Chains A and B, each alone.
Chain A
Amino acid sequence: MNRAALLWRVASFAVAAGFVALWQLIANLKLVSPVFLPGPDRAWASLVRGFSSGDLWSKLAGTLEHMAYGWLAASIAGIAIGAIIGSSRRMRTYVAPSLEFLRPLPVSAIIPVAIAMLGLTQAMALFVIAFGAIWPIMLATIHGFAAVEPRLYEVARSLQMSRLAVIFKIALPSASPDILAGMRLSLTVALILSVVCEILAGLDGLGHWVLLSARAFRSADLFAGVILLGVTGYVTSVAMSLAEHRLLAWQAAQR
């Protein structure tokens, strides 16, 4: 990072700090009732208290666990199903349109069905998160497989590679940018659905924590939870970008 960029960064942080100061000012002057809007000092104190007592750690761990299991299950199943559908022209004409038809369905609408089948349980949450997160990954995989350079398939045919070898050696690597982009989209979906499921089913996690805090009008705890959810969203997406960068480095070098 050169000097000018660094200065801009500092200035940008200063602006953000200005907004936090403004928030503090509004809270101090009680322009908005403190029942709804705690100052950043109180939210911060609540964060520190929550972490030192271990409460927030366990909530954070709960949410991350829901998110990670659901997302990993969706990634594995999504890539597998996407590869099966994407690698066969017949499957693409018969199955892909139905999937495209289902795509605009608000996935949260599956929650009541999942509750009816599995009850207000951990399994329900995992099913819902995985179901919601699978779409972007699966569709990206199908799309990535369909967009593979046709000459690569010709090479595979002339080398008489098996279908599995074609998938693992040609299609998956060349579709990997699409797949990783789909996985990144799914990460956000997984976080949102984790929060919704925790709210609905009372599962241990940040979603449940913010709802309880709201019910008890503990606004500082509520804001602490929301800030932590924002941090979770930010950190997971940055981690995904880094992973994407690492995994796709060979492609950047090729171009």
Chain B
Amino acid sequence: MRANSAKALVLPLAVLVAFEVWARATHLQSDSLAPPSEIVMALFGAFADLSILAATRDTLFSAFAGLAIGTTIGLAFGIAFGISDTLDRLMEVTVEAIRPIPSIALLPIALIALGFGYRMEIVIVAFACVWPVLILSRAAVRSIEPRLMEIARALRLPPAQRVWKIIIPAALPRIFVAFRLSAGIALIVAVTVEIAINPLGLGAGIMLAQQALRPDLMLAYLVWIGAIGYALNILLVVAQNRLFGRAALSGDGA
């Protein structure tokens, strides 16, 4: 295992060293590329003046707020559709009509309705996060062991308790998988909205660095955004394994 992870590092390190040497040897002057050493220096600089941390906070705040709203809505509908076949069939056309709208297409609508800032970004992130949660939680509720539902019926649990005591605990591992997918989407959508239009957060930071012809800073932002995406993914995978272990695997398509 250790030998394999060492092998995995060979390629990225070789690329970095080759790039550094090439940039030094040719005295690279470019608006789009910078040697790795300068990227690292720019990253430290952005940390030192706290600009990148403030941008990270803005992006993560929008992403998580949108994620929370989107997950709640998706979960509510997903559970409702999972429990009631009638409701699911009646809403099918409506859901299938709204779902394929690319989240980013809502950007201009959110822009004229809410203006620049956190709110429009949160709305777009929330829209994007609803669908994976809705679809996977609906499937999770449907696949609950039927005997559990029989017990709920035999105990005459009222609907609210049935959801809270039987359905959510039984479907939770797969709901968490959906949450993990949505969290990745939330970060992607937040950064995309910022790059496209919203003067806020990491996406705006990287655009600004590009416009200021600071390739080192731009690539530093790129590396940092990648690191956050990677860290978020690892964190959620670890949380999933810790909390649910093998139980979550059944719902994990990846």
Contacts and interface: CB of A to CB of B under 8 A. Distances in A.
B203 interface: yes
B207 interface: yes
Interface residues of B, number: 56
A37 B111 CA distance: 13
Contact of B97 (A106, A214, A223, A230): A230
A155 interface: no
B152 interface: no
A195 B104 contact: yes
A210 B105 contact: yes
Contacts of B210: 112-113, 115-116
Contact of A11 (B8, B12, B89, B97): B89
Interface string A10-33: 011101100100000000000000
Contacts of B111: 214
A173 to B, nearest CB: 22
Interface in A206-255: 206-207, 210-211, 213-214, 217, 219, 222-223, 225-226, 229-231, 233-234, 237
Interface string A110-127: 111101110000000000
Interface in B36-77: none
A159 interface: no
22 contacts: A8-B90, A9-B92, A12-B90, A94-B7, A94-B8, A98-B12, A101-B12, A109-B195, A112-B207, A112-B218, A113-B210, A113-B219, A116-B31, A116-B210, A116-B218, A200-B195, A206-B105, A211-B197, A214-B109, A219-B112, A226-B101, A234-B100
Interface of A: 8-9, 11-13, 15-16, 19, 35-36, 93-98, 101-102, 104-113, 115-117, 188, 191-192, 195-196, 199-200, 206-207, 210-211, 213-214, 217, 219, 222-223, 225-226, 229-231, 233-234, 237
